[in-house]
Structure 1
Amino acid sequence: MESTNQLEEIKQKGKTLKFEDDDNDDAEFFYNKEFDFTNDLPAVLERGVDYRQNQRQNPERQECIFEKEPEGASESDYVVNFSLSLLEACSLNEKVPNIISRILLNNLYIQMQEKEIEMTERHQQIALDKLASVRAELLSDYVTKFKLTNHVDQNFFENLARQYVAQNKFHEAALLIYKFKFHNLFDLKVILDKLIDSNRMPAAKQLCEDSEELKLYLIKALSTNDNCKIAAQMIKEFRFDINNFPEVKERLMKNSMRYYLGRFLYKKPGSDDYLSLDRIEDMFLGFKPMLAYLVEDLVFKGKMNEAKGVVLRNYLDDTLRQDVREQLNDVIYNPNLDPVPYDVFGPLSVGEYLRLPPHVTVEFITTNDDIKKLDQLFDEPFIGVDSEWRPELTKFHKTCPSLFQISGSKVSYLLDFVSLKDDKDLDNKLSDIFSHKNVTIVGFAFNSDVEQFARKFPNLKFYRYIHNFIDAQNYFSLVTKSPPMTGLAKVCEKTFGKPICKKEQMSNWERRPLRLSQQHYGALDAYILVDLIQNLAKQGEECNCHLEKHVRVLDNRHYRPVAKDDDDEEGNGFLDSRPPAIFNPQERQRNFGGGDKKKEKDFIPSKGLTPEMKSFGFIVDKTLFKVGKMLQERKVDCKIPEKGLESEQICALAIKEKRVFVTTNLRLFNKKLNVPSCCVAFKTSPFSTLFFILIQLQTNSLQSKSFSNYEQKILISLAAFIEQRWQKKQFNQFPRCDEIIYIY
């Protein structure tokens, strides 16, 4: 088979899909990077339907993918030709996600298995003719499902892989090499370099999973400023020792240091993002390699006096590079030129911020003898709780809660978990307080604290059972009928007219003694929850939102945090040693500031949940108004909520009106909410297109003259196939399938 010639012919003739309407005006759908597949797929289907119905009036359609059927063609002939032609068009368009092509292929296969379509030799020939244009990801399944193994062999796929390499389609070539085990027939290091250049990391990782040599080569190739985080992730996944990769370790440490240093060099003093040099130095306290990198970059930026001060205060002479040490030998440190560290028992930011009231005292619990001071809390009706931990400076640096704050109305206690984390007497005392029937524990987004304690201190039990608990964040939203504020500072600003200064939030909470500003911040964070809940309780009485109705038992005794790849790894020690490196004086291009802000969202659906489509219409979340209008235009019963409502409130409205809630807020499903009978987590994805089709089928809006029986069969089969996967929860069979989840 001359697959190359066929592919080029398809590209030349099939880049533009043309459908002629009754007025003989061409309607073109260009398959290039600007093509909006999500919005245009329904139009493509409708044009295909129109061609089927009007082909007798317009028999000559040379450039249409839906070719004129031969005399005596059956319904199966048309369905196979229709589906394979659409599959071919989807494969040729790089912007069309793989999931669409896979669904078309699997749908056709299911119809063949259920005898709705009879596979003939002619159908096999059609499939064989289109084989060269099918995406590499689907080739193996395509050949198997259409029983083409007798027509193609290993040589065919090897030649196709070589053609992909010659055409610079290294991703497609890598998929074939991995699938058919052609590793010994290609220069894989060259292909890995090309995959890295095109940011095809999954394919690169897959290609070298059976070779230690290739794994090491891949990590070394990724050991650059731009890719060191990916290299670190590969090291974790391959279960290698980070200390065997000094380049990756050094770049991770330097990138972290430069992120904080950038907030000193390029942010204006007084701005929220500004960090003074003494705060950065304190952040790296105890980690001489990080401090040495800080000194080296300060020297590079010409701040010699500041660099000399950091060296003298932290005894870094033996840790610095020799060239940097020589430059600093002649510098006479003048402490008067260094800004004096600013530390007060109060807010650090300039402006009106909340302060700890004078009548509230701060008590430190640092020894076993101090634990008895907590007995005063048994007389408090409300107790505010919070915790602080040192920021994780790099991917391999692990920290744990080092300060636990617990406050009544008169005393705010700061518990030193650096020294008392294993104290059973403290755990028992806190357990008695948290389970006391006359005490209500007040938290703010307390789930994150619970997860930290469960992950770092699994032997402690005080946080696992709270007899009376109220989350101030949720109760504030209920009382004020406003969207849940993201942070405590904003809630306080709306309630008290002043925010909390958050300058000390990202600071070294392991240092002892704490700075005065840290003491104030920690004590205020716990105390303000008591003041806040009392204020909200008064407002709740006026609006019939009584506090006692929302106080609940918080039972985490059976909670186990989701396992992570590095849970069994010891993070201590990563920052203690500096990796060996050869200084290159020509390496002067530095990237200061701006860390990678992209974070993957972990969403794990609850076990035992089943989908159900019985409802009285749909309701969309606050960010999906356009989706709601689109559904309404398609005559789907969809309610668009009023502006200002938050996801939790819209979710409650969906429960009340028995509607399907369409949302992008996956965090809702991790909360213990009474979700509707059917929730859909909707993202802009390939599924959204077919999801519209499914909705139309459910509401019987496809029963119109514009669709023939053939097209209805195809669309119904597509929708049935997706629904079948949902019911069986076979999400992992398709990429990005977890972006649509049903919750029962």
Structure 2
Amino acid sequence: MQQNAEEEDVFYDEEFIHIMQKVIGECDGFEELKKYIAINKPSFNLINTQFQKVLDQNNKEKFEFNLQKIFEELLKNNVQRVFIRVLFQYLKKNKDQMNLKQLSNSGIAKNWKNLQVQELQEFIELFELKAQITDENLFQHFQDFVNKKKFQDAFQFYQALQLPQKCFDTLIEQMGNNHDAGRAADFIMKLDYNPANYPKIVERLEKSCTRYLQSEYPWFKCEEMLMFSKSLLVYYCEDAYFHGKKNEALSIIKRNNLINEIKKPNLKEEMEKDLKGQFEEIPNVLFLKDEFKPAEEFISDEIGVYLHCKDFGYPENHIVIVDKIDQNYLDAWKCINQSNAVGYDCEHITPWTKLDYQGFKVCLVQIATSNHVFLFDYQKLKEFQEFKNDVSQLLENVEILKIGLSLKDDLKHTVNYLKLNNIIIRSIIELSTCFKVLEGDPKLRSLAYISEFYFKKKLSKYDTCSNWEYRPLRKAQIHYAALDAIASLQVFQTMKEKNNQIIEQEKDVLSIG
């Protein structure tokens, strides 16, 4: 009621009515109007109602006579655009009665460059100015935006005026030259254009990505992450070589047979000379020392710090990879369907760049029961209807708790990736919410934080960004994937023992599709 009362005050404000009368009847008071709107911030509907009220007070003829002057003064005094929108709405509704075309030859067209992009198309149509504001005029105005590096304005202008696509291509070309590939990619995505038509932008994004990876991760992890993207791996090697990691770059090139993919002739020649010289290949430690345990233990010798699957009674032979419909598959689902609670986790890859053609991929879903963990290879199973049916039945089964952290995201990824329709996922337990309620923690915590809180050891996150498309998976990857699902289930059991009533209250449902 308070808000309605405040709106009424503005609605019947005599000061505002007086200003509007001056604007409409005398072509005066524009500075007052601008100041009033800035201070009182009346809504579009309130201004519109007041505008109509003043016109109804025998001011319509004055308004029509003064229309061009009013419009020009609004632009000249930079009155807030909400008033332009009110004006245009009125003109659209009353266009037939007002004969706006008569103004097309009065010089009103000269104001078109002072309009914002979203207003221009409406302006041209209202006053029938297509003959005066030609395509050539519009193209030149668009090019002016591009030349002045007003890329957002140029993009909006292209959209609003439905210019030929060659204008968009010009814009993207200039943005690529201006090292603004990220925003160019946003424009390409917004219009759903094919990224393959903009190779310069794709290349700039990929190079930016590899520079970021080089700054964040050791070389051997970068090699493993990029093995399924040859162009990215090539850019990475070129950049690493240039920045002093010559042996590392050459080792990757030799191992992955990339020398003929190097794009810079001089650099390729120099690399070929090094490969034929005293170069000694450096092995990738991730593949050389791979073991079924946290990667930190064989990479940096951090022994005794991290949780293991065996800490919870899951030996290596109880971690089962399921990648085809066979007896192993049937046994896995029998075990899962006999459980009353399962830990649920998902491993996926996201696009390396905004314009990555492959997009988001679910690679692996891990389901932990009380004594086994099943790693379902989504890349190999996703097209089987039997698999889709089994997943759907699990998700909709009210008798089996699905437990995890950021679980709704993982479940949505599963449903969308398998293209399951109209599914209601029942009996969800979100661990971050449970922990917040149970422990009185003000923040939503990660699985690593919660696991260490209860089990006094760290949960390895080294392989979070590893290459989940690679087959066969490394042993450390298998351990990592299994342990996330195990930890979810074990955290739940610990919480349940502490206060089962609170945990039961947090049971949730998710409807998708």
Q: 1:288 to 1:191 in 2, by over 3 A?
A: same
Matches within 5 A, 1:118-137: 118=57, 120=59, 124=63, 127=70, 130-131=73-74, 132-135=76-79, 137=81
* 1:503 match: secondary structure: coil
* 1:223 match: secondary structure: helix
Matched, 1:315 2:247: no
* 1:388 match: secondary structure: strand
Aligned to 2:162: 209
Q: 1:429 to 1:177 in 2, by over 3 A?
A: closer
Specify which of 61, 75, 87 is matched with residue 142 of structure 1: 87
Matched, 1:288 2:245: no
Q: Point out the more displaced range, 182-191 or 314-323.
A: 182-191
Aligned to 1:657: none
The amino acid across from 2:34 in the alignment is E
Aligned to 1:271: none
* 1:222 match: secondary structure: helix
The amino acid across from 1:279 in the alignment is K
Matched, 1:77 2:18: yes
8 A contact 1:76–1:118 mirrored in 2:
no
Aligned to 2:377: 416
CA deviations on 1:653-675 (whole Å, 9 max, x unpaired) are: xxxxxxxxxxxxxxxxxxxxxxx
Question: How far did residue 234 of structure 1 move?
Answer: 2.7
CA deviations on 1:189-236 (whole Å, 9 max, x unpaired) are: 432315634643553433552322212212222224632222223334
Specify which of 290, 304, 329 is matched with residue 272 of structure 2: 329
Question: How far did residue 445 of structure 1 move?
Answer: 2.0
Question: How far did residue 326 of structure 1 move?
Answer: 0.2
Aligned to 2:26: none
Specify which of 106, 116, 137 is matched with residue 185 of structure 1: 137
Q: 1:355 to 1:195 in 2, by over 3 A?
A: farther
8 A contact 1:383–1:441 mirrored in 2:
yes
The amino acid across from 1:373 in the alignment is D
8 A contact 2:402–2:427 mirrored in 1:
yes
Matches within 5 A, 1:694-733: none
Aligned to 2:459: 500
Unaligned runs of 5+ in 2: 1-5, 24-28, 125-129, 297-301
Matches within 5 A, 1:57-76: 76=17
Name the CA distance, whole Å, in 1 between partners of 2:149 and 2:273.
45
The amino acid across from 2:35 in the alignment is A
Matched, 1:376 2:335: yes
Matches within 5 A, 1:214-225: 214-224=167-177
Name the CA distance, whole Å, in 1 between partners of 2:72 and 2:231.
62
The amino acid across from 1:246 in the alignment is P
Name the CA distance, whole Å, in 2 between partners of 1:236 and 1:305.
38
Aligned to 1:362: 319
Q: 1:354 to 1:152 in 2, by over 3 A?
A: farther
Question: How far did residue 527 of structure 1 move?
Answer: 0.6
8 A contact 1:387–1:405 mirrored in 2:
yes
Q: Point out the more displaced range, 307-316 or 105-114.
A: 105-114
Name the CA distance, whole Å, in 2 between partners of 1:188 and 1:196.
13
8 A contact 2:19–2:33 mirrored in 1:
no
Q: Point out the more displaced range, 382-391 or 367-376.
A: 367-376
Name the CA distance, whole Å, in 2 between partners of 1:136 and 1:438.
59
Q: 1:250 to 1:128 in 2, by over 3 A?
A: closer
Q: How many residues align?
A: 459
Specify which of 394, 398, 402 is matched with residue 441 of structure 1: 402
The amino acid across from 1:297 in the alignment is D
Matched, 1:340 2:285: yes
8 A contact 1:405–1:526 mirrored in 2:
yes
Q: 1:80 to 1:536 in 2, by over 3 A?
A: farther
Matched, 1:278 2:220: yes
Q: 1:225 to 1:366 in 2, by over 3 A?
A: farther
8 A contact 2:158–2:167 mirrored in 1:
no
Matches within 5 A, 1:669-688: none
8 A contact 1:281–1:291 mirrored in 2:
yes
Question: How far did residue 119 of structure 1 move?
Answer: 5.5
Question: How far did residue 393 of structure 1 move?
Answer: 1.0
CA deviations on 1:694-739 (whole Å, 9 max, x unpaired) are: xxxxxxxxxxxxxxxxxxxxxxxxxxxxxxxxxxxxxxxxxxxxxx
TM-score scaled to structure 2, two decimals?
0.77
The amino acid across from 2:77 in the alignment is S
Identity %: 20
CA deviations on 1:29-48 (whole Å, 9 max, x unpaired) are: xxxxxxxxxxxxx9xx99xx
